[in-house]
């Protein structure tokens, strides 16, 4: 296999998907204005918008052409840790946690599994496998954070009110004088009711926190997506509620302390929500120019030199499909179809 295409699972064009609580509407990542079905609208997830913010051409390749990546170790580790934390909040017995930090930590550690959970995904049963990617270290660091929070919080508010919950919202967005209907969809990792009675949304990452203005703004815009989606949703207990706080954990730590998870929290920032909406408008604007013909010239890549040094290498796993990285690397069945 061409090394530029290693790690690629295949190509599967996006298909229409149903929208919860909607009888007629469906959504797709591949929406364009020439689609004849007026009940088919654009689907945007936090992941797709984040990919667009990272590189518009990568967004086109992954979400519109449908190039699928194989699951790598980082993805698998993240899935396993997320599953274990979700289960922890569902089954933990707080009455047995004890009254001192060591007792609480020991009790929380007792819920850390030794292997992944068996589950069904896409019609397939994924069997349980022993943890071999350092999952227990990440989970122990999360339990350390939660032990401290347990000791300093109102116990009635310790457990989340949102725990890996799917949220959907239909919004209408004006872009250059045109109204476009959009299906916002995603899974909110956690939502906690703060001691003051206001909602706090929280994200879990198994990567390392990088202390930079770019990373901070990127995470703020991710959380802004969740806040905006929940506010406009209709399929959740807290639909229509405006979160007051947000934050995130990075269980690989940061440069100052790589041996402990990094935790950050702050009040919701309206400027981040506005920045996220501007990014969403940019995404829609490019879809409005798309013809549905696999020609992705309207989804540009950043300036060649900067992008190659900072985005393509080593971060992008689909650059073998990118005509702006090197047309010779395009798969044979796409050559001649994508405009450089």
User: In this predicted structure, what is the pLDDT of residue 195?
Assistant: 84
Q: How does DSSP assign 89-152, residue by residue?
A: HHH--GGGS-SSHHHHHHHHHTT--SBPPPEEETTEEE---B--SSHHHHHHHHHHHHHHHHHH
Answer yes or no: is 85 within a domain.
Answer: yes
Tell me which H or E stretch contains 166: strand 162-175
* Encoded tokens for 191: 């939502």
Note the residue count of the chain: 340
Answer yes or no: is 143 within a domain.
Answer: yes
Query: Is the whole model's pTM more than 0.85, yes or no?
Result: yes
Answer yes or no: is 248 within a domain.
Answer: no
User: In this predicted structure, what is the pLDDT of residue 332?
Assistant: 56
Answer yes or no: is 47 within a domain.
Answer: no
Neighbours of 184 (CB within 10 A): 25
Let me know: does 208 contact 253? Beta carbons within 8 Å: yes
16: left (phi over 0), alpha (psi -120 to 50) or beta: beta
Answer yes or no: is 96 within a domain.
Answer: yes
pLDDT digits (tens, 9 = 90+) for 124-144: 788 889 999 999 999 999 999
| Signed CA dihedral, 303, 306, 310, 316: sign only | positive
Q: Please, which residues bridge with residue 167 across strands?
A: 186
User: In this predicted structure, what is the pLDDT of residue 338?
Assistant: 44
Answer yes or no: is 64 within a domain.
Answer: no
Answer yes or no: is 166 within a domain.
Answer: no
User: In this predicted structure, what is the pLDDT of residue 334?
Assistant: 52
Look up the domain containing 127 and give its range: 74-156
Q: Which residues of the chain have pLDDT under 50?
A: 1, 3-4, 328, 335-340
Answer yes or no: is 95 within a domain.
Answer: yes
User: In this predicted structure, what is the pLDDT of residue 326?
Assistant: 63
Nearest of 239, 189, 177, 192 to residue 219 by alpha carbon: 189
User: In this predicted structure, what is the pLDDT of residue 187?
Assistant: 97
User: In this predicted structure, what is the pLDDT of residue 336?
Assistant: 46
Across the chain, the runs of DSSP E, i.e. the strands, are 8-11, 17-18, 26-28, 40-45, 67-69, 119-121, 124-126, 162-175, 178-193, 199-205, 245-250, 262-267
Our count of domains for the chain comes to 1
User: In this predicted structure, what is the pLDDT of residue 118?
Assistant: 84
8-state DSSP, 315: T
């Amino acid at each position: 296999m061409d090394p530029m295409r290693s790690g690629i699972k295949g190509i599967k064009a996006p298909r229409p998907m149903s929208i919860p609580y909607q009888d007629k509407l469906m959504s797709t990542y591949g929406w364009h204005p020439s689609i004849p079905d007026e009940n088919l609208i654009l689907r945007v997830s936090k992941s797709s918008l984040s990919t667009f913010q990272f590189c518009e051409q990568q967004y086109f390749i992954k979400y519109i052409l449908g190039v699928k990546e194989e699951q790598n170790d980082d993805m698998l580790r993240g899935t396993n840790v997320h599953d274990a934390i979700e289960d922890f909040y569902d089954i933990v017995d707080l009455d047995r946690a004890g009254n001192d930090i060591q007792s609480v930590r020991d009790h929380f550690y007792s819920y850390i599994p030794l292997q992944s959970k068996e589950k069904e995904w896409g019609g397939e049963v994924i069997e349980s496998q022993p943890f071999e990617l350092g999952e227990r270290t990440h989970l122990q660091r999360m339990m350390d954070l939660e032990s401290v929070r347990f000791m300093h919080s109102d116990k009635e508010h310790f457990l989340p009110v949102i725990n890996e919950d799917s949220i959907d919202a239909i919004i209408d967005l004006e872009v250059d004088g045109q109204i476009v209907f959009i299906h916002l969809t995603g899974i909110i990792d956690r939502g906690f009711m703060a001691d003051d009675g206001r909602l706090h949304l929280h994200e879990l990452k198994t990567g390392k926190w990088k202390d930079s203005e770019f990373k901070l703004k990127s995470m703020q815009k991710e959380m802004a997506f969740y806040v905006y989606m929940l506010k406009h949703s209709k399929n959740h207990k807290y639909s229509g509620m405006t979160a007051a706080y947000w934050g995130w954990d990075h269980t690989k730590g940061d440069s100052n302390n790589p041996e402990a998870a990094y935790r950050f929290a702050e009040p919701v920032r309206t400027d981040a929500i506005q920045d996220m909406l501007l990014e969403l408008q940019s995404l829609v604007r490019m879809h409005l120019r798309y013809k549905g013909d696999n020609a992705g010239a309207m989804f540009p890549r950043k300036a060649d030199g900067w992008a190659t040094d900072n985005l393509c290498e080593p971060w992008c796993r689909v650059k073998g499909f990118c005509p702006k990285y090197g047309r010779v690397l395009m798969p044979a069945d796409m050559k001649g179809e994508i405009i450089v």
